[in-house]
A and B are shown apart, each in its own frame.
Chain A
Amino acid sequence: MIAPTTNVYAYYPGCSLIATNKAYDISTRNTARVLGIELIELEDWNCCGATAYTAIREKRSFVLSARNLALAEKTGRQLITACAGCYLSLHKTNKYMAEDAGMRQEIRRALQAGGMDYTGGVRVRHCLDVLVNDLGEEEVKQHVVRPFEGLRVAPYYGCQITRPFGDIDDPEFPEVMHRLLRWIGAEPVDFSMMTKCCGGMLMYTQPNVGMELVGQILSQAKKEGAECIATACPLCQINLEAYQAKAARTTGADCRIPVLYFTQLLGITLGLKPKDLALSDNLTPSETIFASRSA
């Protein structure tokens, strides 16, 4: 087993974070740097075999994830990712390989056909888990130079960080992002939609279904008096930030609210500049949020 608490991790960005959600990648790398966590990008990583792939080819999707686990095993480090979807794909494959001998054998044979192997032992982590549970309150607070002064934030976890395994936190009533938000001077609002689904890919393929879900999440955050929403998943981020006007028309409720990655909120309080957090990439305004940190 690989040593659990060293501050160097093998970093898996995932496809979204090098394209549509590079602000999440940039803000993750920069906040980690300030907090003394070293992220070393996994060399030649490939797609995790996400949801859409599993729905067509199951075993191949496990092999895609397993190739990344094999690369991580060679580094001898824990594998860390910021994407909730990648986290679950990698984590699920890792778990199934450990628990099911038949599946393990089949996947290893496939890896070997391409000159690789994975024997197990890599621990897959989400960066939210690492920041809160490995680094902890004292360490994080030590680096906070300009805390928020009670900024009201709706912590939105979405689905795939806590479900189905609940390894990081309770699958339906998680607290982990709440804790981090309190450490940086924000006030998490009571948010009943925090683990409800945003519709994921359905927003593009069957928008009438997705819009309803997104509208409920946004309007609930507004109703609770949140000044912004914090996300920990690239797809949730896009769904919540890109269709606010349409969601308002669908639900008839006020849906205009800034949506930021939790790493951007954290970064603001660490004294990072808007450019270091790629705030201008966001589709919702973030100026008021940036301005609401202490002077």
Chain B
Amino acid sequence: MEAARAESLKATFLDNIRSIPYGERIYECQQCGTCSASCPTSSQMDYSPREIIAALRAGLLDRVLDSNTVWLCSSCYSCTVRCPAGIKFTDVMYELKRLGDKYGFSSRKSPTAKMARCFVKTIDLHGRNAEGELMARYYLSTNPFRALRQLSFGLRMLIRGRVPLLPHGIKDTKNLRRMISAASPEE
């Protein structure tokens, strides 16, 4: 990645992080690795949480965003409660997910990212989740045949009436949409 683009990516990231409460604590990282050791999925990540901050400092954030790392964060907040520097690392991960999505890095192709985008579409439309629709969107955007792997689970849920087929939206979707577009018109 060329130097100018790497600089601009880093600057955007830091700007966004600073706008989140306690975001400026990211400068306090001592590279102790408590986050990586606490993370339930770091063993599967190309870059562990500690390495993400090291990459940021080295101007290599693009490598993190082109890897499998950020969407493996399940938002369990273990790193956040243990960080001796008070960095809210889960919020950092959220920001990296959004950054990769916005800048078109390969992290956005993760199935978890696809699921999240389908979720947003469903919520924006109905104001509430609609499981049937969410699953249909997700499997169509990934691989419809993957749905077969969930067949036995789906049937057991269906038998117990645990999968509503129609969405139960809210009444005032019109005003809800006004609110969410006022929140961030550029989104």
Q: Which residues of A contact B (CB under 8 A)?
A: 15-16, 18-22, 44-47, 49-60, 62-64, 67, 96, 99-100, 102-103, 106-107, 109-111, 113-116, 159-160, 163-164, 166, 171-172, 196-197, 199-202, 204-207, 209, 213, 242-243, 280-281, 283
Contacts and interface: CB of A to CB of B under 8 A. Distances in A.
A44 B170 contact: yes
Interface size class of B (residues with CB under 8 A): 35 or more
Contacts of A47: 123, 127-129
B104 interface: no
B183 A159 contact: no
20 contacts: A19-B162, A22-B162, A51-B75, A52-B116, A63-B179, A96-B21, A100-B21, A106-B183, A107-B183, A113-B181, A114-B172, A114-B176, A114-B179, A159-B76, A160-B76, A163-B77, A163-B81, A164-B81, A197-B41, A280-B160
A164 B123 contact: no
A59 B183 contact: yes
A55 B110 CA distance: 13
A280 B114 CA distance: 33
A110 B74 contact: no
A99 B40 contact: no
A114 B182 contact: yes
The 4 lowest CB-CB distance pairs between A and B, nearest first, are: A113-B182, A114-B175, A197-B76, A163-B77
A163 B164 contact: no
Contacts of B101: 56
Contacts of B153: 242-243
A55 B73 CA distance: 10
Given A172-B78, A202-B112, 7 more contacts: A22-B162, A46-B176, A52-B120, A55-B116, A114-B179, A199-B74, A207-B149
Interface string B41-64: 100100000000000000000000
Contact of B97 (A15, A45, A55, A116): A55
B13 interface: no
Contact of B75 (A46, A200, A206): A200
A205 B97 contact: no
A20 B163 contact: yes
Contacts of A281: 160-162
A46 B127 contact: yes
Contacts of B175: 114-116
B17 to A, nearest CB: 11
B179 A58 contact: no
A283 B74 CA distance: 24
A110 B182 CA distance: 5
A164 B183 contact: no
A164 B80 CA distance: 6
Nearest to A171: B81
A64 B157 CA distance: 28
Contacts of A54: 75, 94
Contacts of B128: 15, 18, 46-47
Interface string B128-165: 11010000001000000000011001001100111110
A209 B170 contact: no
Nearest to B184: A59
B111 A64 contact: no
A99 B77 contact: no
A202 B72 contact: yes
Contacts of B97: 55-56
A65 to B, nearest CB: 11
A106 B41 CA distance: 34
